[in-house]
Structure 1
């Protein structure tokens, strides 16, 4: 019973968050802004959206290709189409429960390639660690390059430098306290977390021990470059966003990526975050919302179509087993 409740909550809570954001965003829009958003969808150049989707497919391919290096390191030779299709299905599953696609991905590989679930899942965990580190690099570059703009925005919201210093000191103190608890505490929850963290570190070390680690790392960076590229290409779909600078693009990309984890596939949260970031640079709210929905809708449709096609083709292409 508890498992069923927990399962439904993991689906419903992100969904409710996404719907709440959509409701808030819609109710705060003026009639003329809603009309402008509709006009933006009508006049958009969808050839750039299509190009963005092609780049996204290349990212899917690279993620599937990168996976083979980790699997080969463990001694498993898998068919590339099975890697690609399971990756595609995982994107579809992530639209229901955030990050649940990793579990389905490992389960499908177990079913069609007989790779043990725990080993397949371990390679996926290692991927996520590498992806997180690369994303943090993007975040660092973005925030350093946009420090002045962020600082001016905080000042406009009456957030003083003194407050930020106090907040920073408090964060450091809390970090030291957590570190001391982590090192010396014998609480069951801490011991459990340590055990899980050791598994993550072990998965990360697997990447460093690969003979093909440089190819693996190349594809890891290539995947994120493809993500950024598909976002960049999409700006040309609207005349109002076609001339924005790369600084704005990278900040929109960062916050859009963060928003995906707040609801089912970024439902509501993605367009909201894009509009918020774009507004810091003088781009009107209606244009930011329209652009956010264009990108989110197109990428979601791609994930659904590729996921469904892959789910159908997996048993067909593996029917001889």
Structure 2
């Protein structure tokens, strides 16, 4: 009974949180705010949004191609079309049930390419390690770009150089992180043990990337995927006049905040627009255009996933039936 409640909560709570955030954020808007946001939607240049979706499609194709480098050493070489459709189906299902997409992806490749589920799922986990590492790198870049703000609180003397502030802060954080890791590694607390185990898994995963046969191709596609993600976010800033001149650090911070919000609810439902808008407001973008940008960005991504994921769901059995004939 308890396990059943946990499963139901795991599915419903993120959706409930997303719906609540949508209601809460919209309930605070006045009639003029709503009209302003509607005007931003009407006057937005959607060619930039289309270009953003092109970058998104390229990232999905690259992800499917990168998957080959992990499956090939195991003796499997699935058809590229099946890999692409399995990836798109995974994105679609993750909109409704958290982490169900990874299971569906491994199940799809098992059904249509006869790759054992556990092996397919293992390669997906390895992919996730690479993606987490890339996300941490981008978070580090965002922090580095914003170190001046933190440095202004740490270094009261305005004569301190910006570069010195950044290096000093990053060095201090690195030392704190290292000693915290070493200290927690001795802990017997179950939660801390899991965290340390996860961190060790990331380290082992990073090491395995550099020992694989086609490591440079894998690394290239990993960097390419995340570059496409950043470009997806960046080009949409040109869709609204208020966000056209955002500085690079605002782009990176907004991207990171939006990416982290995806972990809270299914596909960033409710969280993505709110979090991204909050980040843009820090860079003196007015509230309503910032909200409009967040909603345009999230809506475009979600529609893309629903359309291509649904098509893949329908076409994958037809494609494989045709291939057999």
Alignment CA distance shift 1:203-1:115 (3 Å): farther
8 Å Cα contact 2:91/2:305 also seen in 1:
yes
Aligned length: 305
For the residue of structure 1 that corresponds to 2:104, the secondary structure is helix
Q: Greater CA deviation, 231-240 or 24-33? A: 24-33
Q: Alignment partner for residue 179 of structure 1, among 185, 189, 200?
A: 185
TM-score relative to the length of structure 1: 0.87
4+ residue segments displaced more than 3 Å: 1-4, 149-154, 168-177, 187-206
Aligned to 1:24: 24
Alignment CA distance shift 1:97-1:41 (3 Å): same
Aligned to 1:159: none
Aligned to 1:80: 80
Give the deviation of 1:202 after TM superposition.
5.8
C-alpha separation between the residues in 2 aligned to 1:252 and 1:192?
A: 30
C-alpha separation between the residues in 2 aligned to 1:93 and 1:103?
A: 10
8 Å Cα contact 1:153/1:280 also seen in 2:
no
Alignment CA distance shift 1:203-1:120 (3 Å): farther
Instruction: Give the structure, 1 or 2, with the largest relative contact order (CA under 8 Å, sep 6 or more).
Output: 1
C-alpha separation between the residues in 2 aligned to 1:283 and 1:253?
A: 15
Alignment CA distance shift 1:283-1:106 (3 Å): same
- List aligned pairs for 1:79-228, cutoff 5 A: 79-149=79-149, 178-181=184-187, 185=188, 204-228=206-230
Aligned to 1:318: 320
Alignment CA distance shift 1:239-1:199 (3 Å): closer
Q: Greater CA deviation, 104-113 or 92-101? A: 92-101
Q: Greater CA deviation, 76-85 or 96-105? A: 96-105
Q: Output the aligned Cα RMSD.
A: 2.7
| Structure 2: unaligned runs, 5 residues or longer | 155-168
Give the deviation of 1:200 after TM superposition.
6.3
Give the deviation of 1:5 after TM superposition.
2.6
| Structure 1: unaligned runs, 5 residues or longer | 155-163
Give the deviation of 1:134 after TM superposition.
1.0
Aligned to 2:281: 279
Aligned to 2:253: 251
